[in-house]
Amino acid sequence: MSGYGNNPYAHGQGNQWYGEEMVEMDERDQQQQHQRSESYDRVAPRAAVKPVRPGLALNNSNYSSNNISTTTTAVASTDYNGPYTPYSPYRRSMAESFVTSPGDSRSATPSLATLKYQNHHFQSHASLTELVSQPSSPVLAKDWVQPGSIARLHDRDDADIWKGWKRWLFHLVPILTFANMGLYIAYLALRIACVIFAQNVNHMAFPGAWVFIAIEIAVSIPSLMHNCWTMMAMKKRSRAKLRLTGDEVPTVDVFITCCGEEDDVVMDTFRGALDQDYPRDRFRVILLDDGASASLEDAVNQLGQTHPNVFYMARKKIPGVPHHFKAGNLNYGLDQTRLLPGGAGQFMAALDADMIPEQEWLRAVLPHLLIDPKMALACPPQLFYNTPPSDPLAQSLDFFVHVIEPIKDAMGVAWCTGSGYIVRRDALDEIGNFPLGSLAEDVATSTLMLGKGWHTAYVHEPLQFGTVPDDYGSHLKQRTRWAIGTVDTAVKLKFSLFGEAVRQMSVAQRFSGFLYATLSVYTILLTASMFAIPIILLWGKPLVAYANDEQLRWLMRACFAATLSNRLCEFVLFIPAGYHTGQRGSRYQLWMAPYIALCIVRAFILPTWLGGQAQAFKPTGSLSSALEERDPKRRKNMFVRLTTILFNYMAIFHLSFVYVTVAAVILSSYRCFFQQSGFKDVFICLMTHAFWPPCTFLFICTSLWIPVSYAIDPPSMPDREDLLKRDSKTGVAHPTSKSKRIAFGGQAAWFELEYTVATAWTIVVFVYSFFF
């Protein structure tokens, strides 16, 4: 590792990649950060040396996994001098180089931490699993992995999440995806050929048909690009379910970042992090409070009276000096841990303020870093316990965490998802700590690590549960920030196509980086294409052109084949996350597209004098108070909700689009009944003008109606405490089993009905093609 005193990232100065955005701190502020105060009140708890009361033990002696016979075979060696060392009292000046090796990391002068633990070596009381008698894989046969220190519970880490017939059916995804792409491309080619034939026969242009083809291509491009990626699911993912056992384990600094969140939310996460089944002298829990809350500091200090591994840190923010938000907060924590007794831990873990970890979190994630010396980062999924029934705003990340991330992991492109991850300090040092100047420091971090030749892993186990934003505005700000941060990172990395930062990336890693950034930018084209649908219908031009009835028959049959293959492909692809979750995600991409497109245009295209603004969603107007729309007792009335969401949050675009499109469909249908006579002529007119299967306008309108329907009838949620099961003695809380699942609600049923009607209509059109 490079020396702490010579590390520019440790000072918050940024790096060459983001260097143009950083401002150097003055010398006095640097000295304040680099010198250790005698009192050090804002870092060390005042009473962190008192003994731990038995009633607040951090481990559950009744733990077992998968009903496997549990025995503990720990490596217990008093003179163990391997790569896993406890926190040492190594104190270094800021000019010294920071070197991690077991031999020189111990000091002859014991510190407070050493005095504390030399007579009290914590032994884990939890029996994790029956150890395998011999390694199940050569990857475990490393000379630095002690025998019996890592247990292999299952060949797949997601064995408990989904299995049986679903897993066997999911194996068909590459075949179905390939077939779906082939049929759809053939259908579009036939459409184009028929328009050309029609123009040659009729000696006239069919602009409406060309525009509709352009719309279908525009809407299908994200799906086709994503299908190219999902076809890679044919590469089998082989990440095992592992557990780290015994007490000779690495040292870990667990960071919890917060900035203004409610105290009870933050402290639930803090207590959950303390409740890890992990030797107490091998991990520290550090609250990085960017809000400098006195009440949080007091709460942490109270826990410090019984827990010696508890720390509170709040950095000083100088007005006018960039503090770089979460990335700056994390980098500050990395710097300060070097000053603590024993120095920095060998690994760093991070939790968002609202993410409560499961008790086996550290022992489940760390083995994936230990079996591969080039593994820089391992991350579990972000799951939630307060998602409302039907998840109307598609706030859960289930499709991403259960479908996309496992495929990315199989291809060696696992992303850091922002919480619950554990990272190797060596890898962080090589990229200069967390990159500054990005709204997506997690994606940027994992991408830079891949570019340096490190590996990343996705641990597909439910190891943390947090909360989704409970109001519409916060949801918009969160998702637009993610999208803009991803694009911003991609731009600085040249879309992962070339450059020094991505030099060591594989082809799959570069394609992934390019794909997901491009899909965000693509929302601009997708939003623009939406306007064409009502325009064509009002124009009165046919959506489909053909030269004769035989061509129309084959168009109807090709449309049926493409539509049904797409339905089947969706059903199988959505299996890991759940069918309704996948459908919600598809609708989310449509109704959220205008918001993301607007933010991208403002952030990257428009100058300030034309409306360009900071890289985050900002609602128009001002809000006197929160809507509190999910609280049945305190929510604002429907008029206030509608006014706020339509005008302050610009959902008036969605409302206008739906009403104009519906009016265009009615007008187009009226023309067919007025201008045509006979069942065949009316049916064909309706079908080729507004109701060409699978009725694309219906899917788009119901998707864009979601913000309006949410304002009219928002879901009701109980108090957060009602979703938790809390230990009355320790105060540790974990989500209930019921709260971890998304309930099936009326909205999901309604959307499924609409989808079924559109599919049935496609079948009717197909059957009719044989009779006219």
DSSP string covering 50-106: SPPPGGG-S--TT--STTPPP-------TT--SS--PPP-----TTS-----TTTS-
- The pLDDT of residue 166 is 87
Q: Regarding beta strands 422-424 and 375-379, do their DSSP bridges make them parallel or antiparallel, or are they unpaired?
A: antiparallel
- The pLDDT of residue 50 is 29
CA 475 to CA 632: how far, in whole Å? 19
The rounded Cα 133 to chain-centroid distance in angstroms is 37
* Structure tokens that stand for 609 in this block: 């004098």
- The pLDDT of residue 377 is 96
Q: Regarding beta strands 455-458 and 375-379, do their DSSP bridges make them parallel or antiparallel, or are they unpaired?
A: parallel
CA 425 to CA 415: how far, in whole Å? 17
Buried b (16+ CB within 10 A) or exposed e, 577-603: bbebbbbbbbbbbbbbbbbbbbbbbbb
CA 83 to CA 373: how far, in whole Å? 11
DSSP secondary structure string, 706-758?
HHHHHHHSPPP---GGGGEEE-TTT--EEE-TTTTSPPP-HHHHHHHHHHHHH
- The pLDDT of residue 526 is 84
Write 30-37 long-range contacts (CB < 8 A, 24+). Answer: 32/316, 33/315, 33/316, 33/332, 33/335, 34/5, 34/94, 35/94, 36/339
- The pLDDT of residue 617 is 59
Contact criterion met (CB below 8 Å) for 378 and 368:
yes
Mean pLDDT per block of 10 residues along the chain (772 residues) reads: 32 34 36 36 34 29 31 31 36 26 29 29 32 39 58 89 86 87 93 95 89 79 70 75 90 96 96 95 96 95 92 92 91 94 94 96 96 95 95 92 90 89 95 86 90 95 95 92 85 82 81 79 84 84 90 96 92 88 90 92 83 61 67 93 94 95 94 91 93 91 95 95 95 96 86 91 96 86
CA 4 to CA 432: how far, in whole Å? 11
Domains of the chain: 4-49+61-122+238-468 (3.90.550.10)
DSSP state of 8: G
* Closest to 369 in 3D by CA, of 361, 360, 379, 359: 379
* Structure tokens that stand for 528 in this block: 């623009």
Query: Backbone dihedral region of 117: left (phi > 0), alpha (psi from -120 to 50 degrees) or beta?
Result: alpha
CA 40 to CA 311: how far, in whole Å? 11
- The pLDDT of residue 233 is 61
Contact criterion met (CB below 8 Å) for 52 and 307:
yes
- The pLDDT of residue 175 is 87
* Structure tokens that stand for 56 in this block: 């607040």
Report the half-sphere exposure of 194 (CA within 13 A, side-chain side).
24
Is this prediction's pTM over 0.85?
no
CA 353 to CA 44: how far, in whole Å? 20
Sign of the CA dihedral with 132 first, then 135, 137, and 140 last? positive
- The pLDDT of residue 143 is 52
* Closest to 753 in 3D by CA, of 580, 566, 570: 580
- The pLDDT of residue 426 is 93
* Closest to 487 in 3D by CA, of 616, 399, 591, 380: 616
CA 688 to CA 111: how far, in whole Å? 81
* Structure tokens that stand for 200 in this block: 């040659």
* Structure tokens that stand for 197 in this block: 């034939």
Q: Which residues fall within 8 angstroms of residue 729, CB to CB, at 6 or more apart?
A: 55, 56
How far, CA to CA in Å, does 162 sit from each of 243, 408, 460, 642, 762?
A: 20, 18, 11, 40, 32
- The pLDDT of residue 654 is 96
Contact criterion met (CB below 8 Å) for 582 and 197:
no
CA 232 to CA 411: how far, in whole Å? 8
DSSP secondary structure string, 157-179?
TTTTTS-THHHHHHTTHHHHHHH
**Distance in Å from the first CA to the final CA of the chain:** 76
CA 431 to CA 758: how far, in whole Å? 51
- The pLDDT of residue 63 is 31
* Closest to 190 in 3D by CA, of 208, 211, 207, 213: 213
Paired strand residues for 254: 285, 349
Contact criterion met (CB below 8 Å) for 229 and 406:
no
Q: Which residues fall within 8 angstroms of residue 108, CB to CB, at 6 or more apart?
A: none
DSSP 3-state of 90? coil
